[in-house]
Amino acid sequence: MSLAISIAVVSFLSLGLAEDPMPMCDPPMPPPMYTQVRWGDVKPTGFRARFQCPEEASGCNVFLCSGYSKDIMRSYMNVTEESLMVDGLELRTVYNVRVECVYNGGCRSQMGLPGRTRTFGTPRTTTTTTPAPTAPTPVGKCGKGYFTCETNETECVDESFWCDKSKDCADGTDERNCPGACTEITSFHKAGNFSCSRWNSRKSACFFQCNGEFVRDGPWYTMCVHDKWTRRVPTCRLRRVSVVISNDGLIPNSIQVTFNALNDVEDYVVNSVIDVDTKIPMVTTFNYEINDGVVEGIIGDLAAGKTYEVSLAAVDADGVEGFPSRSRYGRTAPMRGTDKDFDVES
């Protein structure tokens, strides 16, 4: 919203309108005294931002930005406490927080200096979620409970109409700058159907979360700027299986593999089997059984006495292959009487 407000101010000035559009904002309000992010409160997925506005301020607008940029990822409007817990963030990521003070009548100060921090990591078994942000209706001239239209600031619409995907202000500003406009992406397995222009949102952040056995193959958020995503919209893919070669070098013409089964899987397939000597990819058969949550499979149609680099992948119900497993080296048993020709892989 700060973008929209500053645009509104600039256009009033450039039109040379005599009336001051925000009489209470003259002289300019002082910025917040500081924004501080205490290391002691930092968690794997969040932190507490502390800030201090001058006494006369009625509250603060707090903005979460990514790393070293000023692009706003989330807004917390009219915060009356002097600190705010920001949560649901990505591990090991740098964020900054910027604060502006709100005075009577919705006048806003400049943003203060960014307070910067980073979240820290946890063991890999911890699951994290990055829920779509929600922000309360920005408070303007119309006061709490109402959204203030941009062109005509005496035009007030009920706050429940803000960002409801239907135009209520004559100038449509109640449907612009909507926060977190793309929560629907979260449970999809496939990317693609998320047009930011559809939301008529010039600058909103979208956060992506994959459920269950699925993991993102791209960035965890993207912004909608000028009807385009600033970063690639990710896909949720099945996570990689951790393949172990069993009975290594004991079975002629085939390699046995085992790994823990994943949920949400339709099938397991060979991602690649490469002859280590010739680097030639092989066409193989793959048969498996699942016993007590363990997949036991046999890669067949191989040559005897050879070493292969093997990688498998899980396939979801949409037929999309997940991340391939890491490569493992497996050997087929040498043909009888040719043991001396078999070169054990070092």
Ligand X SMILES: *[C@@H]1O[C@H](CO)[C@@H](O)[C@H](O)[C@H]1NC(C)=O
Q: Which residues form the interface with ligand X (CB under 6 A)? A: 58-59, 78, 80, 102, 106, 139, 143-144, 152, 154-155, 193
CA atoms within 13 A on the CB side of 258: 9
Nearer to ligand X by Cβ, of 6 and 195: the residue is 195
Contact (Cβ atoms closer than 8 angstroms) between residue 53 and residue 136: no
We find the least distance from the C-beta atom of residue 165 to ligand X, in angstroms, to be 13
We find the least distance from the C-beta atom of residue 193 to ligand X, in angstroms, to be 4
Label each residue of 230-299 as H, E or C. Answer: CCCCCCEEECCCCCEEECCCCCCCCEEEEEECCCCCCEEEEEEEEECCCCCECCCEEEEEEECCEEEEEE
Nearer to ligand X by Cβ, of 59 and 334: the residue is 59
Contact (Cβ atoms closer than 8 angstroms) between residue 290 and residue 261: yes
Question: What dihedral angle (degrees, nearest 10) is formed by the CA atoms of 255, 260, 264, 270?
Answer: -20
Instruction: Please state, in angstroms and rounded to a whole number, the distance separating the CA atoms of residues 205 and 178.
Output: 9
We find the least distance from the C-beta atom of residue 58 to ligand X, in angstroms, to be 4
We find the least distance from the C-beta atom of residue 311 to ligand X, in angstroms, to be 28
We find the least distance from the C-beta atom of residue 201 to ligand X, in angstroms, to be 17
Walk across the sheet containing 307-315 and list its strands.
Answer: 267-275, 307-315, 328-331
* Token digits of residue 136: 């309360």
Nearer to ligand X by Cβ, of 78 and 186: the residue is 78
Tell me how far CA of residue 226 lies from CA of 16, 176, 195, 259, in angstroms.
27, 12, 12, 46
Nearer to ligand X by Cβ, of 11 and 193: the residue is 193
We find the least distance from the C-beta atom of residue 245 to ligand X, in angstroms, to be 38
Nearer to ligand X by Cβ, of 105 and 114: the residue is 105
Nearer to ligand X by Cβ, of 32 and 297: the residue is 32
Q: Which of 183, 233, 177 is nearest to 200 (CA)?
A: 177
